[in-house]
Amino acid sequence: MELEAILHQIDSRDMALPEFQRGYVWNRDQVRGLMSSLYRRFPVGSLLVWVTATDSAIIRAGADKPETTSVRMLLDGQQRITSLYGIMRGTPPPFFEGAANAFTNLYFHLGTEVFEFYAPMKMANDPLWVDVSRLMREGIASFTVGLLARSDLEMKPEVFIRRLNQVAEIGKIDLHIEEVVGADKTLDVVVDIFNRVNSGGTKLSKGDLALAKLCAEWPEARQRLRSLLATWQAAGYDFRLEWLLRNVTTVRTGQAMFSGLEQVTPQEFEQGLGAASQAVGYLLNLISARLGLDHDRVLGGRYAFPVMARYLVERGGKLIGAEEQGKLLYWYVHSFLWGRYAGATETTLNQDLVALERGGLDGLIDALRHSRADLVIRPEDFAGTTRGARFYPLLYLLTRTSHARDLGAGGLELSAHMLGKLARLQVHHIFPQARLYKCGYARGEVNAIANFCFLTQDANLEILDRAPEEYFAEVEERWPRALESQWIPTDPELRTLDRYRDFLAARRELLAAAANTVLDRLVASPAPPAAEVAAELPVGPTTRAEVEDADTQARVEELVAQYGLATPTVVAVVEDPLSGAELGMADFLWSEGLQGGYDEPVAIAIDPQPGEAEAISGAGYHVFQHVDALAKFLARRSEELAGTPTTD
């Protein structure tokens, strides 16, 4: 079938997208590659469509159902057809979900015969750059007049006109269409076919299938879920749709398996969504108020939320007092410190839900303690490196809750009322990075958690890269006991670069003792009453510099600007896209691709824990263990020419 005829079927709603399909995920390189292949008349693969009854079709929201009795649902080829529709029509198709800049403003150079996206400085004064969308809509006439009038072109106008025609007639290219038909082709069968055909891409998860079935009866479900996620994102928390769906499933059914939703009506799901969203909001407020974990980058243990939300809903939506709060928070912190859900997430969730039902919070804590023998934090637990380590949020928690004081700028207490509101916090390397590298210390040692503390921006600028033996004495004189409040050893012998490893060992001892005291206090005699929990979602720090050391962050920001990358999430749990299991920690994460939904997910994991890089890579992420490695990859990719045969 001619490409133009396929696009016409989309216009008439005779071809649509099934609800279980994810949104548009291609990047600009793939779009350029596709157009280059079509221009050269290379094969770009066939399409796979599912012909099904219109009445029962689960069509992506935004596209109306046709008046005909059957509709053709696009199973394989969405990325290609969406790109071509956007280029040839100048607007995304009705079922579009994503960002249109991957195919907007595509230009073709009549001299070099390459496709590139509009760059004003490069293209503004060159008549050989042609707006492809305009060419497709208007035809070649308006372009040939200008070309024939010019006498300064290196080639004959006839050559350019032939190339214009070659682009304009891409719409006449035939694409082969395979059809899936028959009454036996149920949604489950079709999803299985989709996963088999799409083996090179991201498979549909059980959550995708459950949501697709739900949307067949409640079309607004996906939008309601996304609206809640957007609300939390505006408040500083970035959650995945599947995570929210897991919370709803657990709250509504008491189990973690998405299969439990099969017996849930749309009305019951809507009620469960309301209850789950209220529970999540309450928990975020509680965790911020009592633990100081007030933004996404320090919020560990996301998959503890379904268990906590279930408990909360069963208790009527709120906790009775500080003691009950303390027990729940004690379990929550220990659950993410020890990677409770870093594995078989669904199985572990169900085990914890059973423990919760049988023994309440005490049963939940006992189950976690049994899995580890004890819940004691030891100095070696703070031996992790980089902000990707699980004990990094604990260091932030201690700073927020234990009267830690700034090492400059007045020596003020870094209390919960100050962080993220009156001052921006930055991660400070107690022993400066440059000095440590100069002495030959390895990256893992330089970026050890025990070498981190949190300071206000002003204090960090005061200290800069001064050596501890210099600025420690000044801090002690100006702000007595400020060093002790940050669990920094005060022994003068540990302030020199040659004793750096001894300093780390001594500070780990202090951090472990402080952590045990703070966490044990949660279950012993929690002080803050329930009334102190904020009524509204907190808004955490808004700049990445608040939790990143300057050199690495600056390098990443440079790459983002240079290559037009999406803004990464800093310090994030990497989850398996199918099971939701925690795979490890990333210092920088592009879960939707470097161009914000247009390519494969990417993670920078500096000094990962053993096995984490392999686990993350095995789940489909491109893993880099240094920013320079990503830079080389981007430089190499930018040099590759478009024009190879491209399919999705």
Per-residue model confidence (pLDDT) at position 642: 38
Per-residue model confidence (pLDDT) at position 58: 63
pTM over 0.75: no
- Among the residue ranges 199-203, 233-237, 474-478, the one predicted with the least confidence is 199-203
Higher pLDDT, 34 or 57: 34
Helix or strand or coil: residue 552?
helix
- Is residue 207 predicted with pLDDT exceeding 90? no
Instruction: Give percent of the chain with pLDDT exceeding 90.
Output: 40
- Among the residue ranges 208-222, 365-379, 492-506, the one predicted with the least confidence is 208-222
Within 8 A by CB and 6+ apart from 69, the residues are 53, 54, 55
- What DSSP line would sit under 362-389, residue for residue? HHHHHHHHHHHS-----GGGG--BSTTS
Q: For all residues of the chain together, what is the average pLDDT?
A: 82
Can you list the alpha helix ranges (DSSP code H) found in 124-182? 132-138, 141-148, 157-168
Per-residue model confidence (pLDDT) at position 545: 32
Higher pLDDT, 258 or 85: 85
Mean pLDDT of 265-281: 94
Structure tokens at 637: 């990719």
- Is residue 641 predicted with pLDDT exceeding 50? no
Structure tokens at 476: 């002690």
pLDDT tens figures, 616-640: 887 778 899 888 889 888 887 766 5
Mean pLDDT of 74-102: 89
Per-residue model confidence (pLDDT) at position 214: 78
Beta-bridge partner residues of 463: none
Please state the length of the chain: 648
Per-residue model confidence (pLDDT) at position 579: 54
- Is residue 484 predicted with pLDDT exceeding 90? yes
pLDDT tens figures, 588-605: 888 777 865 445 789 998
Angle at 304 between CA 298 and CA 305, to 5 degrees: 85
- Is residue 299 predicted with pLDDT exceeding 50? yes
Higher pLDDT, 69 or 299: 299
Helix or strand or coil: residue 427?
strand
Distance CA 53, CA 182 (A): 10
Distance CA 587, CA 584 (A): 10
Higher pLDDT, 609 or 467: 467
Per-residue model confidence (pLDDT) at position 282: 95
- Is residue 100 predicted with pLDDT exceeding 70? yes
**Which 8-state DSSP code applies to residue 103?**
T
Angle at 632 between CA 627 and CA 635, to 5 degrees: 125
Per-residue model confidence (pLDDT) at position 566: 76
Distance CA 173, CA 167 (A): 11
- Among the residue ranges 115-129, 412-426, 447-461, 623-637, the one predicted with the least confidence is 412-426
Higher pLDDT, 442 or 502: 502
pLDDT tens figures, 346-384: 889 999 999 999 999 999 999 999 998 899 999 999 987
Per-residue model confidence (pLDDT) at position 188: 66
Per-residue model confidence (pLDDT) at position 411: 82
Distance CA 46, CA 647 (A): 9
pLDDT tens figures, 512-560: 999 999 999 999 854 444 333 333 443 333 333 333 344 576 678 778 8
Distance CA 57, CA 55 (A): 6
Angle at 544 between CA 540 and CA 549, to 5 degrees: 125
**Which 8-state DSSP code applies to residue 199?**
T
Enclosing H/E stretch for 454: strand 452-456
604 CB burial (10 A radius; 0-12, 13-18, 19+): buried
Q: Rg for the chain (alpha carbons), in Å?
A: 28
Q: How many CA atoms lie within 13 A of 44 on its CB side?
A: 31
Higher pLDDT, 387 or 115: 115
Can you list the alpha helix ranges (DSSP code H) found in 373-456? 392-401, 433-438, 443-446
Distance CA 132, CA 147 (A): 16
